[in-house]
Chains A and B, each alone.
Chain A
Amino acid sequence: MDYETLKKNARHRRRAGKALTYCLLTVWALVVLFPFYWMVLTSVKSYGAYNSEWIPQLYTLEPTLENYVQAFTTVPLAGYFINTVIFALATTALMLLVTIPAAFAFARLQFRGRDVVFTLFLSLMMIPSELVVITNYVTITDLDLRNSFPGLILPSVASVFYIYLLKENFAQIPDELYYAAKVDGTSDLKYLLKVMIPICKPTIITITILKIIECWNSYVWPRLITDDQAYYLVSNGIQEIRENGFGRENTPAMMAAVVAVCLPLVILFLIFRRKIMAGVARGGVKG
């Protein structure tokens, strides 16, 4: 065996492999980032400049913010934002109010039929939303709740998955803590508020963020239940802009609206990167 060659071959192969790996990873990173770059780029091109580019330019030397001004003035984009914020916050708050006690009951309280009920709960996870949306649509229409916040919010509140996630986390807290609190005369509610919730804060934050993301991006239900622009969420707003636009085909202004819609979540993601990715890895599916 020729040791010199072996040595050299091994080194070359390793280097070539590394280089190839980084190439592949960089190419995919560009594929991921390019649409984002393109939306930002287009949003700062002026209307005239954009339409005069038969060959799209990969950069611009005269960035302008006029498209953003137009996106917020011609179209009630600010209104969509406010609606979405109200929708996301109210839904998430209600979700927590419903989820935390339920998870607590499953994790901590003893009652007849607990395991059966929990299994039934879990089996609800398999029901696809497409199946139930039809009746919900009819229900909300019958209740005369179309084009209203309650109509938007109520069907989006309950989530079996989050109850499951939180219950698992609650169940990890050692029983001794509960017994100690009981001996000290702490009520169940106080124990939940003062001990369990603080200990499980990371999980609660995670499900809060995941729910906000879900709300921010929700499209189907709001579309079914609203046809009044005053109640549009950002997704519907974007779709409305796409279909009816700014009175004319105004791509830069459309992209400005798109950037405005994407930005809050990107910022949220960059702040809570680890929490979000860990939460999704634990069983989130693109909703």
Chain B
Amino acid sequence: MEQNNRKAWLYLLPAMLFLGVFLVYPLIDVCVYSLEEGYNFASQTYWGLGLYNYAYVLRDPYFLQALKNTFILVIITVPVSTGLALLISLGLSSIRRLQELYQTIYFLPYVTNTLAVGLVFMILFKQTPYTDGLVNQVLSWFGAGPIDFIDGPYWAKMLVLCVYTVWVVMPFKILILTGALASVDRTYYNAAKVDGTPGWRIFTRITLPMISPTVFYLVITGFIGAFKAYSDVVALFGTDLNAAGMNTIVGYIYDMLYGTSGGYPSYASAAAIVLFAIVLTITCVNLLVSKKHVHY
């Protein structure tokens, strides 16, 4: 086969140009930024190189708050959404009638605008002078007092955020898990059935091990996604997340970059690299754990 080097590079040129300018160069640049101390956005000057930006970010109470919020969000939503998605996918793959209808409905949140639907959740949970909101109405039937979920106590806000996050990430997980369940050879189930295996045992001994690679894939992508939570938080609590005490790491990065608190790309870069390091660590840990438990 003849080599046509020049032509090939010509075909690749546009892609390399775009990726180079907007992906590779920024990647290097962000590392440089994060080390430039006292960078001034207006004059584009700095007075030294060092780790000061990291030290600043890691001591910034806003960043620590964001870190805490993000970790709580991750630790609650990833297991809950994965478990729930598993349950629903199992149900979904055990039925035939209406299966497609349910599948279509379940996927709907994936294609809708996170900001827009977030507003609906806000309305459902929000207390205003005119109404306590629908959720509080339901709570009152059980004798629970009205709670301001949007501007009220921290745990209430976190609860709304978790509920909304789970709602948003479920479509992807259900889709992937239903696919994985469908790819398990039916004869395994027939074999187990002939042997009189009870349902829960079929699940724990056959189904779960067979789809374990997919489950781990979802856990890893779930962790990554949840660590990057931002737009759903904005949808619920507005753009001034620090004031609401609901900022996330990504939110902190953008706040450092832009808006009233912005103009500090160095701090933003340092925070972004800290985020990247956390995500990378968690992913590696996940991969190590999965190596141990996914056997075949």
Touching chains A and B, CB distance < 8 Å = yes
B-binding residues in A (CB < 8 A):
17-18, 21-22, 24-25, 28-29, 31-33, 35-36, 38-39, 42, 50-56, 97-99, 101-102, 104-106, 109-112, 114, 117, 121, 124, 127-128, 130-139, 154-155, 157-158, 160, 163, 188, 213, 216-217, 219-220, 223-224, 234-235, 238-239, 242-243, 249, 251, 254-255, 258, 261-262, 265-266, 268-270, 273, 276-277, 280-281, 284-286
The reply to whether A54 and B11 form a contact with Cβ atoms under 8 Å apart is no
12 more A-B residue pairs beyond the given contacts A17-B94, A28-B106, with a C-beta to C-beta distance below 8 A: A25-B92, A35-B121, A36-B112, A102-B15, A112-B5, A127-B27, A128-B275, A133-B254, A136-B22, A239-B115, A251-B123, A281-B176
The reply to whether A238 and B15 form a contact with Cβ atoms under 8 Å apart is no
The reply to whether B95 and A21 form a contact with Cβ atoms under 8 Å apart is yes
Beyond A38-B123, A110-B1, A111-B8, whether A29 also contacts B175 by CB under 8 A is: no
**Chain B interface size range:** 35 or more
B58 at the interface (CB under 8 A from A): no
Note all chain B residues with C-beta closer than 8 A to A121.
19
CB < 8 Å: which of B3, B112, B169, B265 contacts A134? B265
C-alpha spacing A17/B91, complex, angstroms: 10
CB distance from A54 to the nearest CB of B (A): 5
25 A-B pairs within 8 Å (CB atoms) are namely A24-B88, A32-B106, A36-B108, A36-B117, A42-B123, A55-B131, A98-B14, A109-B4, A111-B3, A111-B8, A117-B12, A128-B276, A130-B272, A132-B26, A134-B272, A188-B4, A235-B115, A238-B116, A265-B112, A269-B107, A277-B107, A281-B176, A281-B179, A285-B221, A285-B225
Beyond A101-B14, A286-B225, whether A131 also contacts B105 by CB under 8 A is: no
CB < 8 Å: which of A33, A101, A128, A217 contacts B105? A33
The reply to whether B228 and A130 form a contact with Cβ atoms under 8 Å apart is yes
The reply to whether A134 and B116 form a contact with Cβ atoms under 8 Å apart is no
Note all chain B residues with C-beta closer than 8 A to A112.
3, 5
C-alpha spacing A286/B174, complex, angstroms: 13
Q: Among the listed stretches B201-209, B231-239, B286-294, which one makes contact with chain A, having 4 or more residues with CB under 8 Å of it?
A: B231-239
C-alpha spacing A131/B245, complex, angstroms: 23
C-alpha spacing A228/B239, complex, angstroms: 16
The reply to whether A135 and B29 form a contact with Cβ atoms under 8 Å apart is yes
Q: Count of A-B contacts with CB under 8 A?
A: 263
Beyond A35-B124, A134-B26, whether A54 also contacts B131 by CB under 8 A is: yes
The reply to whether A56 and B133 form a contact with Cβ atoms under 8 Å apart is yes
Note all chain A residues with C-beta closer than 8 A to B238.
242-243
Beyond A22-B95, A188-B7, whether A138 also contacts B113 by CB under 8 A is: no
Residue of B nearest to A249 (CB): B128
The reply to whether B167 and A138 form a contact with Cβ atoms under 8 Å apart is no
